[in-house]
Structure 1
Amino acid sequence: MSPDRARLRSAVFLATGVLALPALAACSSQDEAGSPTAGQDVAPAARDLVADGGTMNWAVDAMPETLNSFQSDADAGTNRIAGAVLPSMFRLDAQGRAQQNTDFLESAKVVESEPKQVVLYKLNQQAVWSDGREIGADDFAAQQRALSGKDSAYWTARNAGYDRIEKVERGANNLEVRVTFNKPYADWRSLFSPLYPKEVMGTPDTFNDGARRKLKVSAGPFAVQDVDNKADEVTLARNPRWWGRPAKLSKVVLREVPREQRAAALAEGKVDLAEIDAPEARRITNAARDQGGQGPLSHGPEAQLTPAKALRSWAIANGSDEEAADTEQQAREKTHKAIKKYATEQTGLRGYTVRKSLEPAYTQLALNGTEGPLADDRVRRAVARALDRDELAKAVLTPLGLPAEPVGSHLALAGQQAYADNSGALGDQDTTEARALLADAGWTPGGPLKEPKGKTAGSEADAKKAKAESGSDSGSDSESDSGDDGAYTVGEDDQKPGDSGTSVLAPAPAAAYQEAALTRQAASLTAHREADKEKKKDPGGHAKQHAEKRAEKHSEKRAEKHSEKQAAKGGAPGAYAPKGTAAPAAATPAAGGPMAKDGKPLTLRFVLPSGEGSESLRTVADRISRMLEKIGIRTETAKVSDDSYFKDHIASGQYDLALYSWPASAFPATDARPIFAKPVPAADGSLNVEQNYTRVGTDHIDQLFDQAMGELDEDESRALVRKADARIWAEAGSIPLYQRPQLMAARTNLANAGAFGFQSPNFEDMGFLKPGAKPSGKPAAK
């Protein structure tokens, strides 16, 4: 397996999901971290209310390719299994902070820092592997050797931290483990979680192949009983040698259920717990609301069949045109089947509830700084300053009933120790400042654009051609009603075979924009004059800010009036979009018009996944495009398949703008460094970007990460991480937007399971409530 493929597979979870990285936490004071934006929603219940026995079926996106978490093709399913069947020295709490796991550890601490760092682990004397052998120093030593990176025969995906260990040795006995580091390592708590037995880590063969499809030896409340590739499921059974709180469930079955099949699988009772998207969440909510009701459903296929449509369909089906009647009759039968199927599924969904929280991951706008306009940091900052992140967060989270707070850090989320809102290093949304940054970079509004030879910008011939291709007049109803603010996207129903789904922001005629530019410039001059007067009266500058906002609103109103006058004269404020797109709305031109330099417009390629689970990303992208249009930046949106989205576009750098998610790690010095490391030339002349797919980085940021990683004073290490985050904001290669929603469908009687948020699942406490019992609102007693 090539190193490049290993890095890619270890990074990618799903384009519309998150990029998988280990996410643990460090321990220290709260400081600026605050509390999590949203708490857990797991129907907590005391253990005496949970029945003994039963099987819980848990839906996963895909069968895990390997059971070895340290291999490149490990995924979320791999890590979920590891959490149930293997030791972890530290586990995450509800705030995403690592807490000592007393099932395996009596203590773990740094006992020496000079001349070298030494960590002493004292293991629980009851902790044994499923074959009866005690967990001890030899297991720690085998894992360190395998993951040190010194032996290339081990196909490891990550070595961070293990490569800093000089030696692992026994202490007073095999239950004491002394780990000596050759370099100070602040994130030592991230190591040995999970811990594999020496039977897996002992040789390259057992590491590479032995733990891919089975785990003969494990240590947790459950053990791997069976991996059934034909049925696409992994069965975990109670571990009879488990010394901790006995598992309430007899079995946990991880079953592959693709996202598009989740609703049907839930309705048929095939799964008890499943991550779902917003449409499925709405269906479950509607099912509970409709229970006991009579008459047609107000949603689904039946709701789409209005009385007028039903009457028209009946008339055609019973009309004299036999061919049309046959076609319509088939369509009616198909519709009736869909209505019946939907109603049946809704009945089945009444046995579930939606549990919701926020994932320990955030969605970002990535700006590719390799080449083109975004190679200029001023343009990147202009894009960032044009964004209203509050609006974007609300668009995704408010409809789901979740708190909509923009994320203020690249390296942690609210509640984690490393969190602090460093977005001030870039600045808040400010359209005027964004335009000023573009102007400083040489982009001017309403500048002349180079046309192909033999053509003239704004010529009558071009106008006629655009009109003919759009099939619509400038004053048509379709244009005035589209309400799309200049962003025109080919709809799913309008696309032809082979259509890439590209949308553009169409420019207004140059003359109209040039006049608008003069209007804006005059308003801007007035704003500065008013601000200077106010500054004399108010040295603090508060009046200046108000004056600038008033001037900006005033200039926008003047531009709107100018646009209305142009329309009254027969001119259109926006050109037509390419053939096959919706007619444009009569939108107000951007201040000063589309930006241009050297005869070329400022146009950015926005690449998005096209899958069914990506609707929210496309909604956010549409809003971003409209925000950028206000500062004169056009976007061309390309929708690509989920399979190729990351591999062929993000990882390869074939994009200008993109949306994808990163997990929040409470060990950011280790886990986040490769995401923001400065790309460096490789030996073959290519650019080694690690996981920094924006290709934006600096030596200073790398140095801050390195210093934080080697700083054993936790407060100082955290301060260095926050400084690194501030520098990342200032470079504007990645703009965090909002924390991802976490929606889980769960049986109404399933306890201690659901939307876990930050916290690691407690597999031993999950189960089904006893008859008549209700969730207590308190977690299971430990």
Structure 2
Amino acid sequence: MSYDGVGPRAVMRSVAFLTAGALAVPLLAGCGSDDEGSRPLAGQDIAPAARAQVTDGGTLRWAVDTMPETLNTFQADADASTTRIAQAVLPAMFRLDAAGRPQRDADYLDSARVVETEPRQVVVYRLNQQAVWSDGREIGAADFAAQWRALSGKDSAYWTARNAGYDRIEKVERGANDLEVRVTFARPYADWQSLFSPLYPKDVTGTANDFNDGARKKLKVSAGPFAVQKIDTAEKEVVLARSPRWWGHPAKLNEIVLHQVARDKRAAALADGTVDVADIDPADADRITLADGAQGSSPFQGPAGGRTAAKALRSWALVHGSDEKAAGRERRALAAGRGTLTTYLRQQDALRGVKVRKSLEPAFTQLALNGAGGPLADERVRHAVAHALDRKELAEIVLKPLGLPATPVGSHLALSGQAAYADSSDALGGQDTAQAKALLADAGWVAGTGKEQDKQKKGEKAAGAQGHKDAGGGDGDGTYIVGVNDDIEHNGDGKGRPRDEESAENGARTRQLAQDGAPGAYAPRGTAAPAGTVAGPLAKDGKPLTLRFVLPSGPGSETLRKVADRITAMLEKVGIATDVTKVPDESYFRDHIAAGQYDLALYSWPASAYPATDARPVYAKPVPAADGSLNVQQNYTRVGTDQVDQLFDQALATLDEGRERDLVRKADARIWASAGSIPLYQRPQLVAVRDTLANVGAFGFQTPVYEDMGYLRKGAKGPSGASS
């Protein structure tokens, strides 16, 4: 699991909605035109090539974050590696296209449609007559029925992570012939296309023992262009071999090897040939682009490139000077630096054969606001946080340097290009500092420390809130507008230090600001603070308004921390302080997000082609469990409403695609209004790929076509026109 993202659908996916009073919101129609969001913000970047241009044979080594704990995607510990393997070796009735919309997979399915709606919904699947399992048995109704029974939730012996959709099926049976499967639903189910993808053989789903343990480390029977050949825990790799039983276009590659490589080791692994394809972070993308031949670039822009001319001169002086101890230290540092530089330059030379493919992931990063308790239990404070954010600026921080569209995400439930997408963010509203401050004031958060508020209650004039006279002027008829409170200096890190620790130089600077008319000057009472002025710290009942902002600390989290720094500054402008807590990667999601030990956090959710099914547990209203605990499902913000739940239920029950889409959009508008999470930007997808490979890279929404991946034939030209 990554920490700016989560695993596959198996891992995915209370405050009442206010209709009146201080938090009136616009009409929550949440609907847009049918054409809205009809195009993804960024296209695929996979070096497409016709199959005739791709050679037969070869091994592709693909870096993954972890070895799979299980090969069963329906178990709780399934991860991205599990999903990748399933896509290559198992049937799927529907797969996603480049716009994130489900399309029939013709290798398995000739047709699938709803043939009856009354008295029951009935779907008939007509299978490709060539579709067989690797043991030669036809794929058929017995496999569909066994999977339904395993995932229906009726038999607790099956350890399943989800049963959405399968729990609505009444029966599965053979149709008019062996190629037909007839599925009858007890309750209408709009997202029926999400079912049986992937489809496991009855050898896996037929008994609880086979389901729970049999498919964790091996798949004896499969039905895809590749098959699992071996799992080598010592070498940390899974070998997928070309399947001789595959009836579709033969796989071009002999093998795909999924090899576990840490993120911070991937550039080196690409350089030494350990891997050929790897998801990478922006720093490695810059490095590979530099190696690829950026005009006018210098190799010293790498790790050793930070030595300025002044540092180099100092180094020379130390080495050749009279201070032997200092000279010795510098000689050792130079020797170590030469070794690092030599390794770096050798790797850069090898990386010239690697390209960075760029797109946007089908996932978005959000700011999560924990509404279970503390200041954020008040919807007004959550709205204030939202109004403090400039989402466009935050998207640009991440995406603009990469040359990717920096458009803020406008929906919790779909991304641009998907049928359900509509920008419903107007239900909450955009950046508005004045509104944020007004909401905080209405919620009882006012300027000054707890001590100052105690003074106010006793009738004393609080410094920084009602004003005081400076020795240099002021007659008491104005308000002294300050960027920091007079008793506490705010440092932008959620902490402060007593003013009496401030240097005389800083005091002189403050007085000069007052004389120059900058923030800190006297103004007539009631005059608004200048734009951009940092608000003083806020407090209520003697307690400061400080939110615990939890972030991962490991390599690869630099982008999140950069975004968090900017969010902290934005919140500071409206008087909200943050206490930034950096925690180990391995405990970030488990011990903090899922456990609710945070006020603010940044993490991502994947987009789904079936939001009514997959997003419901993410935004469902938490309910008390039998043991007295709170059942939050995957709603880690603990913010939900009855209306949102009802809209999801209605969307799931309609078979009218247009009505389902409208209901999902209305649900999204109400999710915006509750302000439990604020979508920020679609995640960048950066994939380093050897330049001789075709049909692999940054796939965006689309399910990869594994049988078309391979190495370009000698002399064949890729999309850039370069010959291999």
Q: Same fold (TM over 0.5)?
A: yes
Q: Where in structure 2 are the equivalents of 1:103-252 lying within 5 Å?
A: 103-252=107-256
Q: Describe the shift of the 1:638–1:457 C-alpha distance in structure 2 as closer, same or farther (beyond 3 A).
A: farther
Q: Describe the shift of the 1:680–1:165 C-alpha distance in structure 2 as closer, same or farther (beyond 3 A).
A: same
Q: Where in structure 2 are the equivalents of 1:193-592 lying within 5 Å?
A: 193-289=197-293, 297-446=299-448, 448-449=450-451, 488=492, 503-506=493-496, 561-563=517-519, 565=521, 589-591=533-535
Is 1:637–2:580 an aligned residue pair?
A: yes
Quote the offset at 1:343 in angstroms: 0.6
Question: Deviation string for 1:487-521 (max 9, x for gaps)?
Answer: 55xxxxxxxxxxxxxx32548979xxxxxxxxxxx
Alignment-mate amino acid for residue 97 of structure 1: R
Query: Contact (CA 8 Å) 2:7, 2:79: kept in 1 or not?
Result: no
Alignment-mate amino acid for residue 343 of structure 1: L
Aligned counterpart, 1:623: 566
SS in 2 for 1:121: strand
Alignment-mate amino acid for residue 251 of structure 2: A
Is 1:693–2:697 an aligned residue pair?
A: no
Aligned counterpart, 2:607: 664
Aligned counterpart, 1:15: 3
Query: Contact (CA 8 Å) 1:301, 1:335: kept in 2 or not?
Result: no
CA distance in 1, matches of 2:136, 2:309: 70
Aligned counterpart, 2:46: 42
Query: Contact (CA 8 Å) 2:395, 2:407: kept in 1 or not?
Result: yes
Q: Describe the shift of the 1:352–1:674 C-alpha distance in structure 2 as closer, same or farther (beyond 3 A).
A: same
Question: Deviation string for 1:403-450 (max 9, x for gaps)?
Answer: 000000000000101100000100121111111111211122346546
SS in 2 for 1:126: coil
Alignment-mate amino acid for residue 78 of structure 2: A
Aligned counterpart, 1:544: none
CA distance in 2, matches of 1:387, 1:97: 31
CA distance in 1, matches of 2:643, 2:515: 43
Aligned counterpart, 1:757: 700
SS in 2 for 1:764: helix
Is 1:715–2:658 an aligned residue pair?
A: yes
Quote the offset at 1:486 in angstroms: 5.8
Query: Contact (CA 8 Å) 2:622, 2:638: kept in 1 or not?
Result: yes
Aligned counterpart, 1:771: 714
CA distance in 2, matches of 1:560, 1:432: 25
Aligned counterpart, 2:503: none
Query: Contact (CA 8 Å) 1:45, 1:777: kept in 2 or not?
Result: no
Aligned counterpart, 2:545: 602
Question: Deviation string for 1:332-354 (max 9, x for gaps)?
Answer: 21111111111111011101010
CA distance in 2, matches of 1:178, 1:346: 57
SS in 1 for 2:240: strand
Query: Contact (CA 8 Å) 1:449, 1:596: kept in 2 or not?
Result: no
Alignment-mate amino acid for residue 15 of structure 1: Y
TM-score, length of structure 1 as denominator length = 0.80
Q: Describe the shift of the 1:631–1:141 C-alpha distance in structure 2 as closer, same or farther (beyond 3 A).
A: same
Question: Deviation string for 1:515-570 (max 9, x for gaps)?
Answer: xxxxxxxxxxxxxxxxxxxxxxxxxxxxxxxxxxxxxxxxxx9998253559xxxx
Query: Contact (CA 8 Å) 2:356, 2:687: kept in 1 or not?
Result: yes
Query: Contact (CA 8 Å) 2:8, 2:83: kept in 1 or not?
Result: no
Structure 2 segments unaligned to the other structure (5+ residues)? 13-32, 464-488, 501-512, 523-530
Alignment-mate amino acid for residue 654 of structure 2: E
CA distance in 1, matches of 2:697, 2:406: 20
SS in 1 for 2:589: helix
Query: Contact (CA 8 Å) 1:560, 1:588: kept in 2 or not?
Result: no
Quote the offset at 1:317 in angstroms: 3.7
CA distance in 2, matches of 1:657, 1:559: 39
Quote the offset at 1:289 in angstroms: 2.0
Aligned counterpart, 1:526: none
RMSD: 2.7
Question: Deviation string for 1:146-170 (max 9, x for gaps)?
Answer: 1111111111111111111111100
Query: Contact (CA 8 Å) 1:451, 1:457: kept in 2 or not?
Result: no
CA distance in 2, matches of 1:221, 1:80: 13
CA distance in 2, matches of 1:237, 1:739: 34
Query: Contact (CA 8 Å) 1:422, 1:725: kept in 2 or not?
Result: yes
Query: Contact (CA 8 Å) 1:116, 1:182: kept in 2 or not?
Result: yes
SS in 2 for 1:226: strand
Q: Describe the shift of the 1:98–1:458 C-alpha distance in structure 2 as closer, same or farther (beyond 3 A).
A: same
Query: Contact (CA 8 Å) 2:10, 2:162: kept in 1 or not?
Result: no
Query: Contact (CA 8 Å) 2:515, 2:521: kept in 1 or not?
Result: no
Quote the offset at 1:688 in angstroms: 0.7
Is 1:703–2:646 an aligned residue pair?
A: yes
Q: Describe the shift of the 1:413–1:458 C-alpha distance in structure 2 as closer, same or farther (beyond 3 A).
A: same
Q: Describe the shift of the 1:629–1:195 C-alpha distance in structure 2 as closer, same or farther (beyond 3 A).
A: same
The farther-off stretch of 229-238 and 31-40 is: 31-40
> How many pairs were matched up?
655
Q: Describe the shift of the 1:405–1:258 C-alpha distance in structure 2 as closer, same or farther (beyond 3 A).
A: same
Quote the offset at 1:320 in angstroms: 4.4
Alignment-mate amino acid for residue 62 of structure 2: W
Query: Contact (CA 8 Å) 1:508, 1:589: kept in 2 or not?
Result: no
Alignment-mate amino acid for residue 534 of structure 2: A
Quote the offset at 1:749 in angstroms: 1.4
Quote the offset at 1:297 in angstroms: 2.2
Quote the offset at 1:458 in angstroms: 10
CA distance in 1, matches of 2:319, 2:385: 54
Structure 1 segments unaligned to the other structure (5+ residues)? 1-12, 460-484, 489-502, 511-556, 567-586
2:100 pairs with one of 84, 96, 101: 96
Query: Contact (CA 8 Å) 1:117, 1:183: kept in 2 or not?
Result: yes
SS in 2 for 1:78: helix
Alignment-mate amino acid for residue 566 of structure 2: R
SS in 2 for 1:613: coil
Is 1:673–2:616 an aligned residue pair?
A: yes
CA distance in 2, matches of 1:686, 1:559: 58
Query: Contact (CA 8 Å) 2:55, 2:710: kept in 1 or not?
Result: yes
SS in 2 for 1:274: strand
Alignment-mate amino acid for residue 764 of structure 1: E
SS in 1 for 2:115: strand
Quote the offset at 1:589 in angstroms: 4.6
Query: Contact (CA 8 Å) 1:263, 1:280: kept in 2 or not?
Result: yes
CA distance in 2, matches of 1:105, 1:439: 60
Q: Describe the shift of the 1:673–1:748 C-alpha distance in structure 2 as closer, same or farther (beyond 3 A).
A: same
Q: Describe the shift of the 1:559–1:738 C-alpha distance in structure 2 as closer, same or farther (beyond 3 A).
A: farther
CA distance in 1, matches of 2:303, 2:91: 49
The farther-off stretch of 727-736 and 15-24 is: 15-24
Q: Describe the shift of the 1:22–1:664 C-alpha distance in structure 2 as closer, same or farther (beyond 3 A).
A: farther
Alignment-mate amino acid for residue 213 of structure 1: K
SS in 1 for 2:556: helix
2:63 pairs with one of 37, 42, 59: 59
